[in-house]
Amino acid sequence: MDNRICLITGATDGVGKATAQALAHKGFHLVLLARNPAKAARVRDEIQSTSAAPVDVIVGDLGRLADVARIAETFTAAHPRLDVLINNAGVMLGQRQITDDGLEATWQINYLSAFLLTQLLLGRLNESGNGRIINLSSSVYSIGKLGPDGQPSQSRYSAIGSYAASKLAILLFTVELAARLQGTSVTANAVHPGVVRTQMLENAEGLFKLIALFASPFAITPEKGAAASVYLASSPDVQASGRYFAGGKAVDIKSRFNSPPIRGRLWDASVGALQHRGLL
């Protein structure tokens, strides 16, 4: 795996940081995408203190779609190919927040920005000859809901509902993307890392706080939560595409929204939203 290039979003904490550390020890050239430059520099230095793998940092905010486009341009200008893209970043917000793009923040950060970044970097992934896309979903996708237009309902906000909808969307996007990538050398898979002891779990609010209190005694370490992403990024045995991995194995997706028409509407709505803003 020496010199394979991996871009990881949300790489300064939790599962993302643990994934980066594990891949560095496997010889990957890491590119860490982070919002906080000082924190990113500390993580880069920490990884490089125990590994000879090169580590680059791109500073950017997934809450700004124009920033996502700039991130893709920065990466493309600096690297001839991309071997692994891990869309790991995610938030759960206790109150509805609207981004400068006019979108609900959980939806934008957890899903739409990952959709855009992936689309903009597909060319570099094709250059790899064995490109891999790994999207972080969650088991709560099973309670996620989308409207007839493939978008989440904006009429009533709940932290868990918005988070679940975004994780359902990233999962459906993965399946649809894999179908559209058939015949290429690029694969796309989704991962549920498990209930992981992270800041998101510790800082949970509302209904999710009750769930977090119940789940905390059973929570696993970030290192264990990163295991599936590390496997999908590094194992030469990975041939699967369009699969959902939970508990260390591929499992069926159980959602009434997982159908070709709904996946197509989600895709079209996402493309439309980004084209409207001149980003695709």
Query: In terms of Cα–Cα distance, which of 78, 70, 141, 77 is closest to 111?
Result: 141
Distance, CA of 97 to CA of 105 (rounded, Å): 5
84-87, strands of its sheet edge to edge: 55-59, 29-34, 5-9, 84-87, 132-136, 187-192, 244-246, 249-251
Is residue 78 packed enough to be buried (19+ CB in 10 Å), middle (13-18) or exposed (0-12)?
A: exposed
Distance, CA of 253 to CA of 230 (rounded, Å): 21
Which candidate in 111, 141, 163, 244 is catalytic?
163
Query: In terms of Cα–Cα distance, which of 92, 249, 210 is closest to 158?
Result: 92
Active site residue 244: no
Give the catalytic positions in this structure: 163
